[in-house]
Homo-oligomer: A and B are copies of this chain.
Amino acid sequence: MAHADRLLLGPGPSNPYPEVIEAFSRPVLGHLDPDFLAVLDEIGDQLRAVFRTKNALTLPISGTGSAGMEACFVNLLEPSDVAIVGVNGVFGERMCDVAHRCGADVVRVESEWGHAIDPQRLLDAQRAAPNARVLAVVHAETSTGVENEIAPLAAIADTDTMLIVDTVTSLGGIPVDVDGWRADAVYSGTQKCIGVPPGLSPITFSDRAVERVRSRSTPAQSWYLDLALIADYVGSARRYHHTAPISMLYALNAGLRVLLGEGLDASWERHRRVGTALQQSLPELGFRPFAQERRLPQLTSVWLPEGADDLKLRTELRDHYDIEVGGGLGAFAGKGWRIGLMGHSARDRSVTTLLGALRELLS
């Protein structure tokens, strides 16, 4: 059957590493097979290295990045808890929605799309609501291409508020430092800078977050995402919870091996180099940056050139060049693009190819 083969330069999925696709062909094993459990343990170690944490509870949730987001909130929140959420894009909004559904009282700390959230404002919000159960922020806003600074939020660890960080688009692409940030619950996705197809959400919980999960007065509202139960499968008890998505876990295992083989520093530097090259060249073609500060190298947001037709241009890119870029969201829809250079797609060749195609289309 004919099947398109695209260069994936949207906001995710990116093109997976060849070793990842190869791993899908490994024979399926049972979820309690010792050979499979060895793979699962190795993934835990790999994720600790990539998240830069010693957290014991570090594992892939059996769902996409949004399932990881939900896992953090449903495990840490109980009804009427206060949740402070930084909002400067779609994924901050999504956090508010998820927290609301947990029955939380949500305090929004907003910043305009395209701008970062001043960490001091988040710290101030926590000081004003010291009983807040969690403070949540997106590290790399996929909807705007802006990085929110996390390091200054480490001070939260000295309070009763727990720090939740979304690293879906940052992990593997720019420095993520879970222990340095003293973060309590951090989640990511596989389909961005890790170079693995979508389907799993790596997460890590600090010891105090685990303690919180274990001492809840009500069970988490999600059985599927209940980390108290999942920990008993991933941990030494090996108690069956749900059937692990075996083949996707092989793929993640292989992708993390590629990433750690290259080295985190080298991967960050590669993402920085190709992203910078793209961002320096796009203005020559009439694109103007959407992100006004702290631009992510792995996700470039740009306004289209004057008079350019979003849909027509993206359709031509897709149908004539087999290149996918992402459209804008919110007020940015129809007027801007989000161009990802992530994982295996984060290569000099991707930049050359995209710029070449755009030059042909816009000339």
A25 to B66, CA, bound (A): 25
A44 interface residue, CB < 8 Å from B?
Answer: no
Q: Given contacts A62-B64, A242-B64, are A199 and B31 in contact (CB under 8 A)?
A: no
A3 touches B27 (CB 8 A): yes
A27 touches B12 (CB 8 A): no
Contacts of A8 in B (CB 8 A): 28-30
A145 to B241, CA, bound (A): 19
A244 to B10, CA, bound (A): 14
- Of chain B, the residue at the smallest CB distance from A25 is B21
Contacts of A318 in B (CB 8 A): 33
> A220 to nearest B CB, angstroms?
7
Contacts of A198 in B (CB 8 A): 31, 243-246
Contacts of A26 in B (CB 8 A): 3
- Of chain B, the residue at the smallest CB distance from A9 is B30
B70 touches A224 (CB 8 A): yes
Q: Mark A220-257, 1 if CB is under 8 A from B, else 0.
A: 11111000000000000000011111111001000000
- Of chain B, the residue at the smallest CB distance from A103 is B221
- Of chain B, the residue at the smallest CB distance from A13 is B28
Size of the chain A interface, CB-CB below 8 angstroms: 58
Which of A29, A62, A197: most chain B CB closer than 10 A? A197
B24 touches A25 (CB 8 A): yes
A24 touches B247 (CB 8 A): yes
B245 touches A197 (CB 8 A): yes
A35 touches B4 (CB 8 A): yes
Of residues 74 through 119 on chain A, the ones whose CB sits less than 8 Å from some CB of chain B are 74, 94, 97-98, 100-102
Contacts of A66 in B (CB 8 A): 223-224, 241-243
Give the copy number. 2
A297 interface residue, CB < 8 Å from B?
Answer: no
A242 to B198, CA, bound (A): 10
Of residues 268 through 289 on chain A, the ones whose CB sits less than 8 Å from some CB of chain B are none
> A303 to nearest B CB, angstroms?
20
A354 to B219, CA, bound (A): 42
> A350 to nearest B CB, angstroms?
15
> A240 to nearest B CB, angstroms?
8
A172 interface residue, CB < 8 Å from B?
Answer: no
A197 to B250, CA, bound (A): 11
- Of chain B, the residue at the smallest CB distance from A61 is B63
Contacts of A70 in B (CB 8 A): 222-224
Q: Given contacts A63-B67, A221-B101, are A5 and B27 in contact (CB under 8 A)?
A: yes
A166 interface residue, CB < 8 Å from B?
Answer: no
A324 to B243, CA, bound (A): 15
A10 touches B30 (CB 8 A): yes
Contacts of A21 in B (CB 8 A): 24-25
A167 interface residue, CB < 8 Å from B?
Answer: no
A64 touches B4 (CB 8 A): no
A324 touches B3 (CB 8 A): no
- Of chain B, the residue at the smallest CB distance from A101 is B221
A170 interface residue, CB < 8 Å from B?
Answer: no
B243 touches A64 (CB 8 A): yes
B98 touches A223 (CB 8 A): yes
15 A/B residue pairs, CB under 8 Å, sorted by A: A3-B26, A12-B243, A13-B28, A13-B30, A21-B25, A24-B24, A25-B25, A62-B64, A100-B219, A101-B221, A189-B243, A198-B243, A199-B245, A199-B248, A221-B221
In addition to A8-B30, A198-B244, 4 A-B residue pairs with Cβ atoms within 8 Å of each other are: A29-B324, A63-B67, A64-B244, A70-B224
